[in-house]
Amino acid sequence: MDFKAPAGYSDHLDHLTNFFDSVRTGKLVVEDATFGFRAAAPALACNDSYFSKKIIRWDPEKMKLV
């Protein structure tokens, strides 16, 4: 069964609202820096691998290139 967001829901608006609420109130954001890094770093490593034409190895436990 596929998940469908409610009609009129905007993930972009939800993301920005969460961010600005955290800036205004000091509360934690839903996706913290570690979450963002875990999401972005492997994709950035893929780009680096493509443009440098070499294999880039990623250690997801240590969150470092090896």
Domain contains 8: no
**HEC per residue, the chain:** CCCCCCCCCCHHHHHHHHHHHHHHHCCCCCCCHHHHHHHHHHHHHHHHHHHHCCCCCEECCCCEEC
pLDDT for res 5: 86
- Please report whether residue 1 resides in a domain: no
In a domain, 4, yes or no: no
What's the whole-model pTM score? 0.56
Q: Is residue 33 part of a domain?
A: yes
pLDDT for 65 beyond 80: yes
**66 and 57 Cβ atoms separated by less than 8 Å:** yes
Q: What is the pLDDT of residues 12-35, one digit of tens each?
A: 999 899 999 999 999 988 888 888
Confirm whether 44 is domain-assigned. Answer: yes
**Count: domains in the chain:** 1
